[in-house]
Amino acid sequence: MQKKNNARRVVASFALLASTAALAAPTAEIPAFDDYWSPGKPDSRVCRTPLLVGTPLGLPRCMQASNIMTHLQNLQDIASLNNGNRASGQPGYQASVDYVRTTLERAGYRVRVQSFPFLAFYPEGPGSLAAVAPQTVQYTWEEDFTYADQTDPGTVTAPVVPVDLALGLGNTSTSGCEPADFAGFPAGAIALMQRGTCPFGEKATNAAAAGASGAIIFNQGDTEDRKDLLVATLGEDYEGGIPVLFSTYDNGVAWAGTEGLQLSMTVDVVRERTETYNVLAETRRGDPGNVIMVGAHLDSVFEGPGINDNGSGSAALLEMASLMSRAYPLNKVRFAWWGAEESGLVGSTYYVNQLPEEEKQQIKAYLNVDMIGSPNYANFIYDGDGSDFGLQGPPGSGAIERLFRSYFQLRNAPSEGTEIDFRSDYAQFFDDGIAFGGLFTGAEDIKSVEQAQRYGGTAGLAYDPCYHSECDDLSNISTEALELHGDALAFTTSWLSLSTKVIDDEIAAAAEQSIGTMRIQQVQEKSRWGHWIR
């Protein structure tokens, strides 16, 4: 056994040396490497060998977009057979869980399906919204307004009262974020609020506490790309008890300026306590005290099949796990397909919170893969070191970002940071101090002219024009993005499966800095007390 372990360490060291040399390759050699990664290059038989699928250079070579697309076709078929979606609590999600579990078991994994409590939410029918005073106006479902996800049902006809609005481009709306915003609010009225600053659920909860019978939240309008409808979630923990709609910015502005406005709104939804599932598997080999986790949410929104969001991440993770079943990692790799992400990161939050502290400390890093096939894509990497957006991830996150960036450089592909905004499943890992990183090709935000020049595609359009929509189907995938980001995920995962030194070093440096900071604070504290004694 000892000889086998030593041999594996030798192979791992060689693989990392080769990978390091590749990263240090002069720019002139990069086109040769790009040819090496090209789709269809490896013989499938070669990808059954432990050496190739167990190394940072070999695993990406075996990650083929065509194989990931096969998984996506199966997820599309599941959605098509189940009311067009794979939302948690719906039959399509259960079928998705079964597909992932079966595929993993065929690859030789022991699979754990973890149940967790979940507040299921789905529409029974379209909503209605109409002005009944001072003039009668009928508004159009899913053009002018839509449901806020996790709203309670109900029908309300009442006067509309604007709440602390801040209109116009460049606004910094905090509408509805503070109970003081509702000072003098008339009980029974409909609260008209604006997106901005705090969670949607907090706005709706404050409105309900002030006596509102219903609420409408409209888009912020601080930029041109934040005026249309979006699927805004109140969160699974919303307990306001009132119906809530989301509307376009232009409608919100018009309503705010209409004296004597009364609206009639109907929300026809089901909201019920049930359970749904995470799917978990890990490599048989590797140090269980040094775990690399890689996760993707498996659920779609109710409105569509969710093939990019997040079939793309789920399918890439499933293909990578299947390949890694033959690898000999030195660190254990744990794969997770999260449930109920679209309802407020419920599955991943539950998983982290129920872990004993000792097991949390065994997780050295979490890699998040959420939307990696956007048709009008950009190459985004989470800003782990805070150099782009100011918020650093837990120690080790900067090292993960650098690993991802190194791979894009090796491929001669541009990349840029994306903000840590806590909108995906890394959030609870971050909160618990676990180093994280991940990839993203863009959602509803608009591609800039500069980005179109860097990545191709169309400036002025969303990275994913079908985000959270019925058209997020198999035609809504860039295989080019899927290939590149699938390879980058494989590279970084494989690297960390063999060595976490880059993370360990950053964590150690942060601890040393923290000790130094504490010493300085202690000296300052003594000086302060000494001043008062004197």
Catalytically active residues, by annotation: 341
* Burial bucket for residue 490 (CB in 10 Å: 0-12, 13-18, 19+): buried
What 3-state class would DSSP assign to 339? coil
Q: What is the DSSP string of 441-481?
A: ---SSBPPHHHHHHH-S-TTSBSSTTTTSTT-SGGG--HHH
Other residues' Cβ atoms within 10 Å of the Cβ of residue 385: 16
Sheet-wide strand order for 137-138: 137-138, 128-133, 262-267, 154-162, 190-194, 214-218, 244-247, 145-147
As given in the structure block, the two tokens for residue 407 are 């791979």
What 3-state class would DSSP assign to 217? strand
Terminal C-alpha separation, the chain: 68
Contact (CB, 8 A) for 297 and 425: yes
Output Rg (C-alpha) for the chain, integer angstroms: 25
Please report the sign of the dihedral spanned by the C-alpha atoms of residue 34, residue 37, residue 40, residue 42: positive
Tokens 């939302």 -> residue: 87
Name which of 497, 116, 483 is nearest 335 in CA terms.
Answer: 497
Sequence-separated (6 or more) residues with CB below 8 Å from residue 502: 399, 402, 403
Contact (CB, 8 A) for 147 and 299: no
Tokens 């907090």 -> residue: 202
Contact (CB, 8 A) for 91 and 82: yes
| Polymer length of the chain | 534
Contact (CB, 8 A) for 464 and 374: yes
d(CA 69, CA 74): 9
